[in-house]
Amino acid sequence: MWLYNVEADFDLKATTIETKVKFKKAKWRLPIESITDIDLATKDDRVQLCIKVDKKKQNDILVIFGGKRINKDARKLLFEDLNSARLFLFHLKRLYWQSTRKAL
């Protein structure tokens, strides 16, 4: 499973929910399995999540799926409020558990 950071805009004149969000391009992607730690902080009245990864595991997964090796071992995300950050973190934790658990 992947975590993508994608540039997008909202089309307020759209008539259906499918066309309200216009995705432009992916800035980066991160294998969820490589996440090791997430730090939560406030910065300029915003909530900042710093997602830290195991660089070796990240690069191994990226190479398997045809990506390039990356030297970064952390990604920072800013949220306007605590509720948005909490919701994002909840779903990220759920996806992390789902991608790393062993099949029974």
CATH number at residue 77: 2.30.29
For residue 51, the enclosing domain spans: 2-100
Helix H or strand E encompassing 39: strand 35-43
Pairing of strands 21-31, 35-43: unpaired
How far is residue 9 from each of residues 6, 21, 51, 73, 96, measured CA to CA in Å?
10, 6, 24, 28, 27
Q: Number of structural domains, the chain?
A: 1
Query: What is the pTM (predicted TM-score) of this model?
Result: 0.77
pLDDT in tens, 29-77: 899 999 999 999 998 899 999 999 999 999 999 999 988 899 999 999 9
Specify the pLDDT at position 103. 53
CA distance 34 to 65: 14
Percent with pLDDT over 90 in the chain:
55
